[in-house]
Amino acid sequence: MPPRFSKEVREYHITDVPVKRQRRTSPCEHACPAENRIQLVETLIKEGRFDEARMALLSRNPLAGTTGRVCPGLCEEKCNRRSYDEGVAIRALERFASERGAVPSLRPMDDSGKSVAVIGSGPAGLTAAFYLRLLGHRVEIFEAEPVLGGVPRVNIPDFRLPKNVPDAEVGLILSLGITAHTNTKVGRDVSMQTLLDNFDACLTTTGNPVQRMLAVPGIESARPATTFLHESNMRRDPLPGKSVVILGGGGVAFDCAFTAKRLGASSVSLVFPEKADRIKTTEDEIRQAHDEGIVLYPSHLTTALEEGKVRARRLTDFRFDEKGELIAEFEDDVTYDIPGDMVICASGLKPDTAFLDALAPKRTPRGHLEVGTDMMTSVPGLFAAGDIVTGPATVTSAVGSGRKAAVCIHAFLSKQAEPVEIKLDLDENGSFTPVVNRAKACELTQHVVEFSEIRNPDYHEHAARTAQRVNDTSMLPFAEIKAGFNDEEAVTEAERCMHCGHCIDCGTCVERCPDYILERVENEGPFVRYPQECWHCAACRIGCPTGSIDIEFPITHLV
Ligand SMILES: Cc1cc2nc3c(=O)[nH]c(=O)nc-3n(C[C@H](O)[C@H](O)[C@H](O)COP(=O)(O)OP(=O)(O)OC[C@H]3O[C@@H](n4cnc5c(N)ncnc54)[C@H](O)[C@@H]3O)c2cc1C
Ligand code: SF4
Ligand code: SF4
């Protein structure tokens, strides 16, 4: 078999599976829970095609301004360039494309005559609503809060995600013609049965809104983290001179700590059972905590809250049982006192599915909803997506899950058994016209290209990762910390992507082929002109700087 080239699929697709027509893919795209088209976006930024970069993101993720700021960035952890010099700043490029690209003109498909109720307007609900509406269905959102956006809008602090970002994304989604009912809690203001009776399908995306409180004496004096963050986001009550202790060591606890600092607390400490090298947040946040003088107490379990102090014991290890209860191994019998006149409990979140009790959907031992591969619960016509299914996760995984739910609900409403690929075509006016490809997506198994498969990495010049500029927040402590990229920085950073597994049409393979078997065709890249004459020397593959060439072994000569 002569060489085959893995090329980037340039069209925009909404799909619940990766673009399977691409034989090879990169570890970054493989790791992104929203399946963002990372390489395509970086190619388009590199070429200065910012509007198209935004559209490529929109075909997978209508909340790229949010994920480009708050996603923990599994893609960056897996980026092959980390083995060469420094990983590509994928998140910052995503943020850049979502801000710099023009707002596209979106036109939903013709009315399907079907309707969907979406319960909850977090990332999962908004994403599902966006694609369902594009597919021509009537969509109504029911949200308990006075504003749309879920946790990113009401809980994540402004210094990480200014409210105008999710608000603009909500604005674009609603502009498709979606009705939103805010201050409407399903189970209190409208029953689930009423929605099932009045809509062709219902999707619940209600997340994990209930704070788990530690079962220790005195816990009633602690404030739930989500309440503290919610209130601090609405009105900034100062905490001058207060010593604040936060029980928990994940992202929510760190958000509480940074918020308390900005509200003027004199000292802020975090007490949590995880070991120092297993803290459940990003390296950036741990560094920021040290810089801001926040004290960390890893491997500590809170045993009681007493007047002005938190009592804790040191752990050697711990685990959770299947119901989420913590089983601890203590180091000794000593109890330590940590001074704190305000205690915030950030020890995990759980779902509230009481509004579904009458329907008795199947639940996991931790109370989350069970769904099939079609995202439907055990109740016919009731689908679920986001944290209500997975347990506390990330914005990006909720986006991926919401898109998958939209594709599955569309298949359910249009009575299609096979998965569908929905292509977003650009028409001559620059508007999207979604085209449903009813043919089954091609079943190619994708191969994830690792760094060791890139045999000619030196093709890429060594270059340091472009750092995001930082805003001066000394006068406005809640102003956004990171400033993003300007055009020049974004293009420079996008040029660092090695496009693992995808042909970049550099021509190295054609130059290195000893027998003129390959040819380069304008805008289409290399192709095998004389397959029968290929020697299988693999010079093309060895020279390829992106690892995008397949040669199948054992080699069989074509006759
Ligand atoms: C403080 C905090 C910080 C976080 N930081 C990050 C981060 O930096 N990066 C990251 O990736 N993830 C982060 N997460 C996790 C992330 O926000 C969630 O994984 C994500 O929001 C889940 O999306 P969702 O759509 O499933 O649910 P949610 O965002 O929880 O949205 C659920 C929505 O449903 C509504 N609702 C609930 N019950 C009802 C009802 N009965 N009727 C009507 N509406 C209802 C709620 O009001 C809410 O708006 C954070 C979470 C918290 C709590
Ligand atoms: S959403 Fe997250 S994982 Fe996906 S590309 Fe963006 S930063 Fe990476
Ligand atoms: S170099 Fe580019 S394609 Fe390769 S893993 Fe990193 S961001 Fe992805």
pLDDT digits (tens, 9 = 90+) for 345-380: 998 899 999 999 999 999 998 899 999 999 999 999
Task: Name the closest-CA residue to atom 6, ligand 3.
Answer: 79
CA of 123 to the centre of ligand 1 (A): 7
Look at residue 417 and tell me whether its pLDDT is greater than 70.
no
Site of tokens 């329907």: 359
Q: Give the CA-trace dihedral at 398, 361, 420, 11, to 10 degrees.
A: -10
CATH 3.50.50.60 domain residues, the chain:
116-156+166-209+351-413, 211-347
Q: Residues 86, 464: contact at Cβ < 8 Å?
A: yes
CATH 1.10.1060 domain residues, the chain:
9-104+441-494
What's the pTM value of the predicted model, to 2 decimals? 0.94
The answer as to CATH 3.50.50.60 being correct for domain 116-156+166-209+351-413 is yes
Residue 559 pLDDT level (bands cut at 50, 70, 90): very low
Asked if residue 504 has its Cβ within 6 Å of ligand 3, the reply is no
Look at residue 510 and tell me whether its pLDDT is greater than 80.
yes
Give the tokens for residue 189. 């203001």
Identify which has the larger pLDDT, 240 or 41: 41
Nearest to 422 by CA among 136, 140, 121: 136
In sequence order, what are the residues at sequence separation of 6 or more whose Cβ sits closer than 8 angstroms to the Cβ of residue 475?
Answer: none
Residue 320 pLDDT level (bands cut at 50, 70, 90): confident
Asked if residue 80 has its Cβ within 6 Å of ligand 3, the reply is yes
Nearest to 228 by CA among 245, 240, 206, 216: 245
Helix H or strand E encompassing 4: strand 4-5
In sequence order, what are the residues at sequence separation of 6 or more whose Cβ sits closer than 8 angstroms to the Cβ of residue 276?
Answer: 296, 298, 299
Asked if residue 151 has its Cβ within 6 Å of ligand 1, the reply is yes
CA distance 178 to 170: 10
pLDDT score recorded for residue 558: 46
CA distance 394 to 349: 13
Task: Name the closest-CA residue to atom 1, ligand 1.
Answer: 252
Nearest to 72 by CA among 162, 131, 156: 156
Give φ, ψ of 197 to 5 degrees. -75, -25
CA of 271 to the centre of ligand 1 (A): 24
Site of tokens 């199948």: 552
CATH architecture for segment(s) 9-104+441-494: Orthogonal Bundle (1.10)
pLDDT score recorded for residue 13: 82
CA distance 7 to 505: 9
Q: Once rounded to an integer, what is the mean pLDDT over residues 131-147? A: 96
Residue 67 pLDDT level (bands cut at 50, 70, 90): very high
Question: What average pLDDT does the chain have?
Answer: 91
Over the stretch 86-110, which tens digit does the pLDDT of each residue have?
Answer: 999 999 999 999 999 988 888 898 8
In sequence order, what are the residues at sequence separation of 6 or more whose Cβ sits closer than 8 angstroms to the Cβ of residue 289?
Answer: 254, 257, 258, 270, 296
Q: Is the peptide bond preceding residue 380 cis, with omega within 30 degrees of 0?
A: no
Q: What percent of the chain has pLDDT over 70?
A: 95
Asked if residue 144 has its Cβ within 6 Å of ligand 1, the reply is yes
Residue 321 pLDDT level (bands cut at 50, 70, 90): confident
Give the tokens for residue 344. 């915030």
Among all bound ligands, the one having the nearest atom to the CA of 498 is: 3
Task: For ligand 1, pick from 76, 77, 140, 151 the residue to mutate: most ligand atoms within 8 Å of CB.
Answer: 151
Asked if residue 24 has its Cβ within 6 Å of ligand 3, the reply is no
* Burial of 215: CB neighbours in 10 Å, binned 0-12, 13-18, 19+: exposed
Q: Which atom of ligand 1 is nearest to the CA of 126?
A: 25
CA of 494 to the centre of ligand 3 (A): 10
Asked if residue 116 has its Cβ within 6 Å of ligand 3, the reply is no
Task: Name the closest-CA residue to atom 37, ligand 1.
Answer: 206
CA of 207 to the centre of ligand 1 (A): 5
For 85-242, where are the E strands, in sequence order?
A: 105-106, 115-119, 138-142, 179-181, 201-204, 210-211, 223-224
Q: Which atom of ligand 1 is nearest to the CA of 352?
A: 38
Give the tokens for residue 100. 């710099």
CA distance 499 to 115: 41
CA of 122 to the centre of ligand 1 (A): 5
pLDDT score recorded for residue 53: 94
CATH topology of domain 211-347: FAD/NAD(P)-binding domain (3.50.50)
Among all bound ligands, the one having the nearest atom to the CA of 67 is: 2
Over the stretch 391-400, which tens digit does the pLDDT of each residue have?
Answer: 999 999 999 9
CA of 368 to the centre of ligand 1 (A): 14
Among all bound ligands, the one having the nearest atom to the CA of 257 is: 1
Task: For ligand 1, pick from 127, 395, 397, 404 the residue to mutate: most ligand atoms within 8 Å of CB.
Answer: 395
> What residue ranges line ligand 2, CB within 6 angstroms?
32, 34, 36, 38, 67, 71, 73-75, 90-91, 94, 396
Helix and strand element counts for the chain (H, E): 18, 26
CA of 36 to the centre of ligand 2 (A): 7
Among all bound ligands, the one having the nearest atom to the CA of 82 is: 3
Asked if residue 351 has its Cβ within 6 Å of ligand 1, the reply is no
Look at residue 440 and tell me whether its pLDDT is greater than 90.
no
CA of 287 to the centre of ligand 2 (A): 21
Among all bound ligands, the one having the nearest atom to the CA of 502 is: 3
Nearest to 111 by CA among 140, 142, 133, 141: 133
Indicate the length of the chain as a whole number. Answer: 559
Task: Name the closest-CA residue to atom 5, ligand 3.
Answer: 79
What percent of the chain is helix, strand and coil (3-state, nearest 5)? 30, 20, 50
CA distance 435 to 308: 63
CA of 130 to the centre of ligand 1 (A): 17
Among all bound ligands, the one having the nearest atom to the CA of 254 is: 1
In sequence order, what are the residues at sequence separation of 6 or more whose Cβ sits closer than 8 angstroms to the Cβ of residue 10?
Answer: 40
Helix H or strand E encompassing 329: strand 326-330
Look at residue 439 and tell me whether its pLDDT is greater than 60.
no
Query: In Å, how far from its chain's centre is CA 449?
Result: 22
CA distance 35 to 91: 13
